[in-house]
Structure formats: C-alpha cells, structure tokens
Structure 1
Amino acid sequence: MSRVSTARERSPWGAAAPLLGGLLLVLYAVPVAWLLLAQPPGAVLAALDAPFVVGAARNTLVSASISTALATLFGVPLAYWLARARFRGRTLVTAVVAFPLVLPPVVSGMVLVGAVGSNGLGGLLGVRITGTLAGVVLAQTFVASPFVVLTARSAFERVDAHTEEAARTLGATEWGTFRRVTLPLAWRGILAGVTLAFARAAGEFGATLMLAYYPRTLPVQIWATFSGRGLDAAFPVAVVLLALASAALVLINLLGESSLVLPE
C-alpha cells in the first residue's frame, strides 16, 4: 500500500466525509422509503386505475413531452450559440437563461400569469392561456428548458472547435458540420439535459398551479387530493410521479455523470 493511500485512510477528513455525506443520503432516502412502504403495495396498485390518477398521469406525460420537445427545439440552438459565439453581454444572456432556475416556482407562475394572462399578452391577442393545456406547457417549458440549454452548452463546449474547423476545411457546410460532427460528439450531454428537463417538467407544481390549475398534472393532483381527502388518498398519485422520476434517473445514470455537469 502506498504512503498516499495510507495517509488518506488515516485522515480525519477521509473518515468524516462519508459520515457527513451519509447523513444527507439518509435525508434523501428516508422520505422515499416511507412513501413506498407506508401503504401495502396491493392498496396502492388497486387505486392506480382511479380516473383522477389516470387523467393526471396522462396530462403529465402529454404536457411534459410537449414542453421537453419545445425546450429541445429552441434550447439546443441557443446552447450552441452560447458555446461558440463570443460577444459582449454573453454572461448576461446566460444569466437570463438560468433565471428560471433560481426563481421560486410560485414566483415563476406569477410572472407568467402577468405576462400571458388576461391582463397581458393573452388579453391583447384574445387568446386564453391560463387554465389550459397550453398554459401547463408554457409553465413547464419556462422552468425546465434551462436544463437543456445549460447542459447542452456545456456539452458543446467540450467539443474541440478545431474538429469543426477541420470539417469545414474539407468542404462541409456549417449545418453539415453541426449535424455530422458536433452533435455526435455532444449527444450524451444533450440527451442528459433533455432527460433532466422532462423530469423537471413532470414534477413542476408551483408555476403550473398559478398558471393552469386545470387540466391537472400529477403534482397539482397530489396537492388537490391531499387537501381534499388526506395523505392516504394522495399516495397512488405520488407513486406514479415517483415512478416517472425514477425512470428519468435511471436514464440519466446510464448516460454517465460527466454529461450532467452544469456550467457555473
């Protein structure tokens, strides 16, 4: 055994780090374990076919899929531009992109209602956005799309710009270089961001509650069921949402931890 390894094993920090970190892991694990074990599995499964659970799950899958598609369609080009362009104000643009991540979800809902509600853009255009599926998608896209932009930007920045220049030197167009060189090298990071965005959109509560209480998604339905019928009745809805989140986590882990590093 090397001296470095021996010193590391005897270090107080080496012993304290797993202990302190383990306490935080307990905080993560205990509530999830309680959710899974507080009721018999048969009782939970029997309640999963309730119309309000099925409807909320369907609304969540549809709205989260649409919002994730929109976040990808517009977020990936923005991420590439931020990764490759050099201009004054680039830091400010990045801060604007990250702004929804630091806003409390309820505040996000408030600013969206003011911007697109009856007293905002929706009223000017004569289009109703609040209380519709479009409102749900808008709220989810607002809070979830930064994950696509920031993670994809980090992935693009890890692609060697000289590789792209070499492709253009060989006659490839800018679009061809992006499609055949840059995307294949950055796709893992982009897909990780897309997966994070879907998980965030599916779990969004505050902004969705403010902008579109109906149609209810799983987080809103959990709150409504808990408020009206108590904790036990809300269990089946929470289990469905936990299953969606777990599937997203599995995919993220398969993509690798290196794809999830967000830029500072």
Structure 2
Amino acid sequence: MSLINATRPATKSRRLPPLLIFGLFGGILLIYFALPFAVFLSRTGSVSIVEALSQVASRTAIRNSLLTAPAATAIATVLGVPLAYVLARETFPGKRLIEALVVLPLVVPPVVGGAMLLSVVGRFTPIGAAAARLGIPLTDSLIGIVLAQTFVAAPFVVITARAGFGAVDERLEQASRSLGYGPIATFRRVSLPLTSRAIVAGVVLTFARAIGEFGATMMVAYNPRTIPTRIWVDFIAGGIDAIVPLALALLAVTFIVVATVQRFAGVPTAVEK
C-alpha cells in the first residue's frame, strides 16, 4: 500500500504539464468564442432594444421564425426518427447511399442547398407550378421557409436519434418481441423511451439550426422575412448597430436551446452514475 501511495504524486506530477498545455490551447479557443459575444453585447447600450423590437418589421420576422422553425422541426422529427431507427437496426443494399444523403445537407453550403431546392419547387418547375395553381406557393411563402429549414436542419435529428438507437441493447427489443409485442409496440414501449434523451437533443439542435437558417431560406423564400433574413436587410441598411436588437432576440432563443441540450443530453442519468 505504501508503495502505491508513494507513486501517486509522481504520476500526477507527470500528468500535470500536459493537462496545462491542453488547457492553454483550449483556453485560447474559449477566448476566441467569448470575445465576439462580449464585444457585440457591449454595443447594446447604444441601441433602444425595446423600441426596435416593437417595430412591425421586427415583430413580423420574429413571428415568422417562431412559426416556421417549430413546423420544420416537427416535420424533421416525424420523418427522421423512423429513418434513424431503420438505419440503426437494418442492413440492406443502398444503406451507405442513404447515409450519405442524410449527411449531404450538412456538407453542402446552404446557399447551394437553396438553389437545389429551387430547381425542384421553384415557381417554373412542374412541382412548383402545380402547387401555385392550387394556391399553395412553395417559394416566397412560409411554406418555402419551412422547406428550406427542413432541408438544412433535418439531418441533426436523424444523426442524433440514430446514435441513440444504436446505443440501445437489441436484446431488450428481442425480449419485448418474445413477450408477444409486435415491432411497432416494441418501438413505442422499449426503443423510443430508451432513446428519448438523444431524440430530444436532436430535436433541439434541429430547431436551433432551423431558426438560424439564412442561406437556403434567402434563396427559396427571401420574403416573408425571418429573423436571419431581417438581420441581413437591417445590416445592409444600417450596419452592426442596426441588427443588435434582432440579434439579441435570436441569441436569447439560442441560449435557451443550449440550456435545453445540456439539460436533456448533458446530465447523466442515475443508471449512468
């Protein structure tokens, strides 16, 4: 015992310098993250936040974002969670291609993604023209915003939920099946509850990506304005000070999102402890 105790301080002392070096590198990155926030927030004193956010254009942009981002998140969740389960549990020809398609919207620049969407749902395409004849415009509308947000944000819930399903022991699902529950009942009673925390994290990340989406939205539905597109218009007209109020509103939503992710995805459960 005394020999083990004698070696512990030496081991810790050998590990300390590398940890300090790692902390130094990490600290530089943290400063790089924090400095823009600090400098930007210091400009709030020169702008009337309440007055700016009470303007019709700002209120409309906030309303549009708070309408479309939840809708895009709901669509991504309803369609993405089943896809995530299939990818986690099944092996079939073409699976690698499907996995690539899921990741592709994350790799493609948003502006390019918006251009690709326009090639499918633009007003002069067969789908876009047919929808317009029915009185459902797919561009320059709230529907167009939802389409753009879903395209760029849905991969987050698919990837996160797939990782959650992959972490579930398949023997638990097999036990459920042996007790007479079918595939759907097993998914609902066993797989879904065990993966709920990962799914919630994916949903929150999807919402955060959707509400902050600019590039694809600008291409598909520059009007009506969302918070990001309104910020761009205000920046062109008045510079950084002009965008402070809406940027703060968007940051407030982002901070709520981060807190939610930490609550549902960062706190270990009793089993993990």
Q: TM-score range by the shorter chain?
A: over 0.9
C-alpha change, 1:158 and 1:258, in structure 2 (3 Å) is farther
Aligned to 1:226: 235
Q: Which amino acid aligns with 1:37?
A: S
Q: Which amino acid aligns with 2:50?
A: L
User: Are 1:107 and 2:112 counterparts?
Assistant: yes
The answer as to whether partners of 1:76 and 1:148 remain within 8 angstroms in 2 is yes
SS, match of residue 39 in structure 1: helix
| Aligned residue runs from structure 1 range 64-213, under 5 A | 64-127=69-132, 128-213=137-222
TM-score (normalised: structure 2): 0.90
Q: Tell me the CA shift for residue 191 of structure 1.
A: 0.4
User: Are 1:7 and 2:29 counterparts?
Assistant: no
RMSD value, Cα: 1.7
The answer as to whether partners of 1:116 and 1:123 remain within 8 angstroms in 2 is yes
- State the distance in 2 between where 1:121 and 1:30 align: 48
User: Are 1:245 and 2:245 counterparts?
Assistant: no
Aligned length: 257
Percent of paired sites with the same residue: 45
Output one character per residue of 1:21-51: Cα deviation in whole Å (capped at 9) or x when no partner. 1111112111112222212287223322121
Output one character per residue of 1:180-227: Cα deviation in whole Å (capped at 9) or x when no partner. 111110000000000000000000000000000111100000000111
Q: Which amino acid aligns with 1:144?
A: A
Output one character per residue of 1:45-68: Cα deviation in whole Å (capped at 9) or x when no partner. 332212111111110010000000
SS, match of residue 66 in structure 2: helix
**Structure number, greater radius of gyration:** 2
Q: Tell me the CA shift for residue 73 of structure 1.
A: 0.6
- State the distance in 1 between where 2:72 and 2:131 align: 23
Deviates more, 1:125-134 or 1:241-250: 125-134
The answer as to whether partners of 2:47 and 2:241 remain within 8 angstroms in 1 is no
Point out where structure 2 has 5 or more consecutive residues left out of the alignment: 1-7, 269-273
Point out where structure 1 has 5 or more consecutive residues left out of the alignment: 260-264
| Aligned residue runs from structure 1 range 27-66, under 5 A | 27-40=32-45, 43-66=48-71
